[in-house]
Amino acid sequence: MQTTTGIASPQVASNPDLDYLLAQVAEAVQLTNDQYNRATGHYEAVGDWLAAPGGPLAAFAPTIYPQGSMRLGTTVKPRGEVEYDLDFVCEVRGGAWTAMKLYDAVHDRLHAHETYRAKLKKKKRCLSLEYAGDFHMDIIPAIADLSRGGTCVKIPDTALASWTPSNPRGYADWFKQRSTVLVERLMKAAATEPLPIQSDASEKLPLALAVQLMKRARDVAFNGADDAPRSIILTTLSGNYYSGGTCVVSAIIEVARAIQRLVRTAAPGPISVVNPSNPDEDFTDGITGERQRALGSFASMLEARVVELTQLRGERLRLALEKLFDGGPGAKVHPVAAAFQKYAELQKTRRDAGTLTSSAKGLGVVAPLAGGFRVPSNTYFGD
């Protein structure tokens, strides 16, 4: 089978139980429901403050909306004590803005709020509100990019003291279209757009799950090293190379193989990964040879380990999953343990109902397997 990009899709036998475990790992590392609700409250409050009648930005109808992992549903808890990084855009309309004037205007409005003042920090392209021990909200000022049209915007780059192109809304629409391949889901826009509802693992599409798992595996493998592949590059390449299958394992393998091929083909030159909705936004601008080699090596490792997962059962499978996705003994989040706990609960429910089956592919926990035999009450997953 060939994908739309010409990369051969992996021939991996369907294993819904492994897919279920991987989906639960992804759910365990995303924002908790409490964190999501707190983020929603803070986000809406910031939007109200920026657009408040009588405020200095009110005449320019600022609209705040999510971008990045918050909008795509691919949030991943960083390892250690680092907070979630949640990205938002504050887009204004009209006015004779320079890049730095807009950046300073949004900064000054946030600084005028007593609560936000203590949390506010300046960054290269955004203003960050840090909620210690939980998450930080990165707010990116923006104006419509009339020359490029559509949903394209220009955002300030303080290092250049000038504009840089972007298109967060267009990128999100592209990712959702690639996630469903045939079905595109559109968000409603408002002065402060409602955050996308955070889905449980059972409701997420394979591409979003694959991206979450790749980002988590990246975080574990690199442990904060500077040459770790950027999330936006992993996400974009995943969208480019995903062929539309329903198997999370196959999605990860096909993307990992395609990344290796991309790096090999480009060598010794740099790869190019651009925003599909605004090609002027180059996510690999200035990528170093070291980072590019690290990307290829990571993709090679990821492919090998995920292929290995399909051959393992029981304790060996658990240990292999922990090697890929767990945060170590000192971590606050142990996604693999959480995944196996949910798997055991589902397994018990199926066993009690008399619908649990077994075959060479494993237990029929997620869906009964054709031709399988009924499992007695004392049988457990794997070896």
**What value does the mean pLDDT take over residues 16-27?**
91
Tell me which residue of 256, 341, 234 sits closest to 304, measured CA to CA: 256
Measure the CA–CA gap between 246 and 284, rounded to whole angstroms. 29
Q: How confident is the model at residue 36 (pLDDT cuts 50, 70, 90)?
A: confident
- Predicted confidence at residue 5, as pLDDT, reads 44
What pLDDT, in 10s, does the model give residues 71-104?
998 988 877 656 788 899 999 999 999 999 999 9
Residue 321, amino acid: L
Question: Which comes out higher in pLDDT, residue 285 or 192?
Answer: 285
Q: What is the per-residue pLDDT across 265-284, written as a single tens digit (0 to 9) for each?
A: 999 999 999 999 999 999 99
Cα–Cα–Cα angle for 12, 221, 138, nearest 5°?
A: 105
Range of lowest pLDDT (201-210, 229-238, 241-250, 309-318): 201-210
Domains assigned to the chain: 1-30+199-341 (1.10.1410), 32-197 (3.30.460.10)
Q: Is the N-terminal amide bond of 16 cis, ω within 30° of 0?
A: no
Query: What is the rounded average pLDDT of the residues 62-75?
Result: 91
pLDDT at 10: 56
**Helix or strand run (H / E) with residue 216:** helix 206-222
For the stretch 122-141, pLDDT in tens is: 999 999 999 887 788 999 99
Structure tokens at 52: 């408040």
Assess contact for 212 and 30: CB atoms under 8 A. Answer: yes
- 3-class secondary structure, 165: strand
- Tell me what pLDDT residue 374 has: 32
